[in-house]
Amino acid sequence: MHSVVLGTSGTTATDVLAVARGGARVELSEDAMAAVAASRRIIDDLAAKPEPVYGVSTGFGALAVRHISPELRVQLQRNIVRSHAAGMGPRVEREVVRALMFLRLKTLASGRTGVRPVVVRTMAAVLNAGITPVVHEYGSLGCSGDLAPLSHCALTLMGEGEAEGPDGALRPAADLLAEHGIEPVELREKEGLALLNGTDGMLGMLLMACEDLGRLFTAADVTAALSLEALLGTDRVLAPELHAIRPHPGQAASADNMLRVLAGSGLTGHHQDDAPRVQDAYSVRCAPQVAGAGRDTLTHARLVADRELAAAVDNPVVLPDGRVESNGNFHGAPVAYVLDFLAVAAADLASIAERRTDRLLDKNRSHGLPPFLAGDAGVDSGLMIAQYTQAALVSEMKRLAVPASVDSIPSSAMQEDHVSMGWSAARKLRTAVDNLTRVIAVELVAATRAIELREGLTPAPASRAVLAAVRRAGVEGPGADRYLAPDLAAADAFVRSGQLTEAAEQVTGPLA
């Protein structure tokens, strides 16, 4: 388990994933701690002055008009955390909470928030102890930050509420802190607000979705190539010179992946005597265009994520010249938009994969394959209902592709009258990514079975490598009907783990 060092200048997607999914330890650089201490001195100076400063000596949101006297400020900061820890619904995943906390820590370490060094050290200690606050599904509108989710994390720093220990058991946060020698923090001026005002939850989920979708786009190219081969399609449409005249980088990458998987195939384009085709159906012929558009959307999403990773999102912020200024940088619109864009791309990729599966199962369009790829059609139903399941997944993905970011419900007595709904966009994207994995798995089951039914024809070497690997993984080939759910589960695990792409790459070398 390696360590990730946080400085003042942000972090990387790799580091976020290492902490969120890999359990990496977090260290704080000397420069970061010096910057934190310097900005805190500015807040302390402002707190001693009679003039009200938002977040330091005033209330919050629509209550910012009230000046808070010094003896009530500790209570003020404690109260904002308690009152804002108002989430409801199921718990969100451990990896999401760890990403959320690490990204908030990234902003605290920037020296732009004005918290004391002890707050920064305590949050790092909680992460390193494997303590995961209980965060609920609902409570963020994606503006003024992911307020309720971050509040539940801040509550743990105070030794209140519940958290999950390293063993996975839920315990009172105070007990977990005590067991790990972590002293609860008594928050002072500005600190409660600084712990809540960030886009960290939606950003963390964006980074994980980008990582997962990057793998799935490659996997989808492999299954598209297998389907093309099983349908005796032509690989001439994948020629690089055709994609060069419409120079979308993602399209070229997907076409190249498919072409490399199909290299040396004895099935593509040579066995159409019974039903000659000038062109393959769109779901086959346009696979690189659709997957490629999704790849380019992913590239844009990663650009937005990188900008957010370099940002210090808080309100107010301590500027390098010592000014403390209010702002609207907590608004989640930049992140929310790309979360929605990715849900659209994932849904369309799933949709075209499902159309190829349906074509493989339809004897009128599969060019000689048995109905539903069944062993004895009529007695056997083959993969008929596997395609139903795939269609149900795609239908849900289409509903999940409806943008959350175009919605807005005013809150805080109309002070917060336009919100991003970025957290909601992130939550539905996680479901969409899971469903896309399953959709690709069903196409894999159908395409590999169809290729094996093309007796006397030799698949491409990469296809043979995938076939061998998927059979070793527990997905059975053609034959009589059997209990099918275990096969689909094994295919899902095969895709999810990256083994599908790895099997093809044994022959093709690294795919994009």
CA distance 319 to 493: 48
Q: Using the 8-state DSSP alphabet, how is residue 142 labeled?
A: S
Q: Measured between alpha carbons, how far is residue 493 from residues 49, 58, 486 in Å?
A: 60, 52, 11
Res. 57 pLDDT band, cuts 50 70 90 = confident
Q: What is the mean pLDDT of residues 117-136?
A: 98
Q: Using the 8-state DSSP alphabet, how is residue 92 labeled?
A: P
Rg, Å, the chain Cα set: 27
CA distance 219 to 125: 38
* Preceding amide of 316 cis, omega within 30: yes
270, pLDDT greater than 90: no
Q: Which residues pair with 162 in a beta bridge?
A: 172
pTM of the model: 0.96
pLDDT in the model for residue 72: 87
341, pLDDT greater than 70: yes
Structure tokens, 433: 């990514």
> Would you give the distance in Å from CA 147 to the centre of its chain?
20
Active site residues: 54
Query: Three-state SS for 266?
Result: coil
In this structure, the strands spanning 136-138 and 317-318 are unpaired
Q: What is the mean pLDDT of residues 252-258?
A: 98
With beta carbons less than 8 A apart as the criterion, state whether 208 and 17 touch: yes
In terms of Cα–Cα distance, which of 146, 207, 200 is closest to 421?
A: 146
With beta carbons less than 8 A apart as the criterion, state whether 367 and 359 touch: no
Q: Using the 8-state DSSP alphabet, how is residue 400 labeled?
A: H
The lowest-confidence range among 63-67, 135-139, 229-233 is: 63-67
CA distance 439 to 491: 10
Tokens 């629509």 sit at which residue?
A: 62
